[in-house]
Amino acid sequence: MPKKVIIAGGGTGGHVFPALAIGQALVRLDPQVELLYVGAKGKMEMEKVPQAGFPIVGLDIAGMNRSAPWKNISLPWKLVKSLFTAQSVLRRFKPDVVVGVGGYASFPMLRQAQKHGIPTLIQEQNSFAGKSNQILGRGARTICVAFDGMDRFFPADRIVVTGNPVRHSIAASKATRADGINYFQLDPSRKVILATGGSLGARSINEAIDAGLDRILDNGYQLIWQTGKLYEEKASRVAASRKGVWTSAFITHMEMAYAAADVVVSRAGSTIAELCVAAKPVVFVPYPYAAEDHQTVNAMNLVRHEAGLIVKDSEAAAQLVPTLLSLAGDPVLQASLVHHIATLAIPDADERIAREVLKLIVK
């Protein structure tokens, strides 16, 4: 009989790509596994999951809007509706286990699975667990984490330190710097700065890079700039008249971007796991409005290990480009950061989590 697994969650690349990595690892380890993804309607998982060859069901659910609370008026109705839909999905698919990777769809699916006695596993990506996962953790059989000290949030006897899953294309990449430079059509004789704000973009990073672009280029550096959709048009106009700038809303082959990059600026969500595997010197600009400010907690964990630098979001306009240029011109600091961040890498986290999922399936 097939082993049926639901993987629920999404909303951003930080949830979608780990979810896909876990699913792909499950199929590699056991071809009898039958997967169903559950996401939120209108979010990127509804496009990315089918592109990867997996089926997905969408829930009509949204997250709490902290910057505009009046927009949350329909949230209770959407939550109730999504709980009923989740129950219907469970009844039709009959999963052996339900995995939650965080994001809007994760809570209703795992809540209903636990209510019906179906084993659940939580993949907590951050060093500060969100409220939803703290609630779900009480009923989860296994909680896979990436940071120490997570017994502050979850029962200690159910925690397994697995690391955060990284896309197989990145974890198994053999791409060289020459491959990456060629892919982005850049000059191999000049160093490359990679600026990425994640799948949705980051306004503070984009605006700082935009304002400091001439300074970056005048100092002899090139730029790979992932902007997100909201800044794509403006960045394209800015880059059009300048040589040595590659820009797009989204980078499909991130393994090539990491291969080409000498220095990286990034948010501090699940991208951290990729940067550890890629072993790149990085300046983190944590998103300050993430739940419980967990991106700052994530970034500071690396800073304490001398594995990264940090610039506050509110100070990015004044400090980001000078910090990047200082790092790009300091090979000793680069080597130190690379050494320390590489020690934190867990390239097989996807398979570690997949094995924990399989342990919960009894046939």
DSSP secondary structure string, 80-101? HHHHHHHHHHHHHH--SEEEE-
pLDDT value of residue 145: 96
Query: How far is residue 186's CA from residue 42's CA, in Å, rounded to a whole number?
Result: 35
> Which CATH entry fits the domain spanning 173-342: 3.40.50.2000, 3.10.350.10, 3.40.50.720, 3.40.50.1820?
3.40.50.2000
CB count within 10 Å of CB 4 equals: 17
Rama region for 282: left / alpha / beta (φ>0; ψ in -120 to 50; rest): beta
Length of the chain equals 363
Per-residue tens of pLDDT for the chain, all 363 residues = 889 999 999 888 889 999 999 999 999 999 999 999 999 999 999 999 999 999 999 998 876 666 666 566 667 777 889 999 999 999 999 999 999 998 889 999 999 999 999 999 999 998 888 888 999 999 999 999 998 899 999 999 999 999 999 988 999 999 999 999 999 999 999 999 999 987 778 999 999 999 999 999 999 999 999 999 999 999 999 999 899 999 999 999 999 999 999 999 999 988 999 999 999 999 999 999 887 788 999 999 999 999 999 999 999 999 999 999 999 999 999 999 999 999 999 999 999 999 999 999 975
Fold of domain 3-165+348-359: Rossmann fold (3.40.50)
Rama region for 220: left / alpha / beta (φ>0; ψ in -120 to 50; rest): left
| The model's pTM | 0.87
CB 100 within 8 A of CB 120: yes
Domain with CATH 3.40.50.2000 in the chain: 3-165+348-359, 173-342
pLDDT value of residue 362: 75
What is the residue-wise DSSP string for 197-216?
--TT--HHHHHHHHHHHHHH
pLDDT value of residue 357: 98
